[in-house]
Amino acid sequence: MRFTKDHEWVTLEGDVATVGITAYAAEQLGDVVFVEVPEAGKAVKAGDNLAVVESVKAASDIYAPVTGEVIEGNTGLGDAPETVNDQPEKAGWFAKIKIADQAEYEALMDRAAYEDFLQSL
């Protein structure tokens, strides 16, 4: 699993990256009440808006950590947005992206580097 400074996590199986937000991010957001996930077929560049997650108080953009084509959004979050709080790094994933360049994934932080980053906040 790799991580971004925007508190997203990414796992890679073959050329398919699964993206979600970290437990830290989910805790910071508070109770998630609505999630908007991308539809399959959407092309995204690293840094583009990928999804929107809403708490009682605010809407937060989730950015694509890698470039590629969305092959699936986690539509199950529509009826169960609280999954993002309950299982942020598992069932609470947002989208699967078929990536173009594996080097983008490799360049992200590993867990040790992300933990160091959290300590620095």
Give me the residues that bind other proteins (CB under 8 A), please: 30-31, 33-34, 36, 52, 54-59
Q: Which residues pair with 70 in a beta bridge?
A: 97
Smallest distance, Å, CB 57 to other proteins? 5
- Residue closer to other proteins (CB basis): 18 or 22: 22
Q: What is the DSSP string of 1-49?
A: -EE-TTSEEEEEETTEEEEEE-HHHHHHH-SEEEEE-PPTT-EE-TTSE
- Residue closer to other proteins (CB basis): 14 or 57: 57
Smallest distance, Å, CB 47 to other proteins? 18
CA distance 48 to 105: 15
- Residue closer to other proteins (CB basis): 58 or 112: 58
